[in-house]
Structure 1
Amino acid sequence: MRLFVFGAGYSGKAIAREVVKNATWAGGTGRSQEGLQAMEASGLIPFLFDGESLSEEVKSALVDVTHLVQSIAPGEDGDSILKLAGSDLRTLMPNLEWACYLSTVGVYGDHQGEWVNEASECCPVSKRSVWRAKAEAQWLAASKKGGIPVAVLRLSGIYGPGRNPFVKIENGTARRLVKPGQVFNRIHVDDIAGAAAHLMAKEAGGLWNVTDDLPAPPQDVVLYACELMGVAPPPEIDFETADLTPMARSFYGENKRVSNARLKASGYELRYPDYKCALSAMWKDGNWSG
Structure 2
Amino acid sequence: MTRPAVFRQPRLLIVGCGNVGMRVLPLVRGRCRVLALTSQPERCAELRAAGAIPIVADLDRPETLHRLRGLADWVLHLAPPQPDGAEDRRTRHLVAAIGKVGRLAYVSTTGVYGDCGGELVHESRPVAPKNARARRRVDAERVLRAWALVNGTHLSILRAPGIYAADRLPLKRLELGTPALRPADDVYTSHIHADDLARIAVLALFRARGGRVVHAVDDTRMKMADYFDAVADAFGMARPPRLARAELQQVVTPTLLSYMSESRRLDNTRLKRELRMRLRYPDVAAALRSFSGTIANQKGN
Q: TM-score range by the shorter chain?
A: 0.7 to 0.9
Give the 3 Å change call, closer, same or farther, for CA 228–286 of structure 1 in structure 2: closer
For normalisation by structure 1, the TM-score amounts to: 0.85
For normalisation by structure 2, the TM-score amounts to: 0.82
Of 229, 232, 237, the residue aligned with 2:235 is: 229
Q: Distance in 2 between matches of 1:162 and 1:66?
A: 32
Structure with greater Cα Rg = 2
Match of 2:53 in 1: 45
CA contact (8 A) 1:161 1:288 kept: no
Match of 2:165 in 1: 160
Report matched runs for 1:191-230 at 5 Å: 191-202=196-207, 204-205=209-210, 206-230=212-236
- Shift of residue 161 of structure 1? 3.1
- Shift of residue 159 of structure 1? 0.7
Q: Distance in 1 between matches of 2:166 and 2:121?
A: 28
Give the 3 Å change call, closer, same or farther, for CA 234–38 of structure 1 in structure 2: farther
- Shift of residue 278 of structure 1? 1.1
CA contact (8 A) 2:95 2:147 kept: no
SS in 2 for 1:136: helix
Give the 3 Å change call, closer, same or farther, for CA 168–280 of structure 1 in structure 2: farther
Give the 3 Å change call, closer, same or farther, for CA 178–119 of structure 1 in structure 2: same
CA contact (8 A) 1:167 1:288 kept: no
SS in 2 for 1:22: coil
Q: Distance in 1 between matches of 2:26 and 2:296?
A: 16
Q: Distance in 2 between matches of 1:288 and 1:150?
A: 42
Match of 2:180 in 1: 177
Q: Does 1:137 align with 2:123?
A: no
Match of 1:126 in 2: 131
1:88-130 deviation line (CA, Å, top 9, x unaligned): xxx6344x22111111000001111101111012110001101
Give the 3 Å change call, closer, same or farther, for CA 232–254 of structure 1 in structure 2: closer
Q: Does 1:5 align with 2:14?
A: yes
Q: Distance in 2 between matches of 1:54 and 1:15?
A: 28
- Shift of residue 158 of structure 1? 0.7
CA contact (8 A) 1:78 1:131 kept: yes
**AA aligned opposite 1:146:** N
Q: Does 1:104 align with 2:109?
A: yes
Gaps of 5+ in 1: none
Identity of aligned residues (%): 25
CA contact (8 A) 1:160 1:288 kept: no
Q: Distance in 1 between matches of 2:11 and 2:181?
A: 46
Match of 2:4 in 1: none
Q: Does 1:186 align with 2:195?
A: no
Match of 1:261 in 2: 269
CA contact (8 A) 2:14 2:36 kept: yes
**AA aligned opposite 1:255:** S
- Shift of residue 2 of structure 1? 1.3
- Shift of residue 134 of structure 1? 1.4
Q: Distance in 2 between matches of 1:286 and 1:33?
A: 34
- Shift of residue 288 of structure 1? 9.1
**AA aligned opposite 2:284:** Y
Q: Distance in 2 between matches of 1:228 and 1:78?
A: 38
Of 267, 271, 279, the residue aligned with 1:270 is: 279
**AA aligned opposite 2:107:** L
Match of 2:155 in 1: 150
Match of 1:29 in 2: 37
Give the 3 Å change call, closer, same or farther, for CA 159–67 of structure 1 in structure 2: same
Q: Distance in 2 between matches of 1:84 and 1:265?
A: 31
Give the count of matched residue pairs. 279
Q: Distance in 2 between matches of 1:63 and 1:287?
A: 48
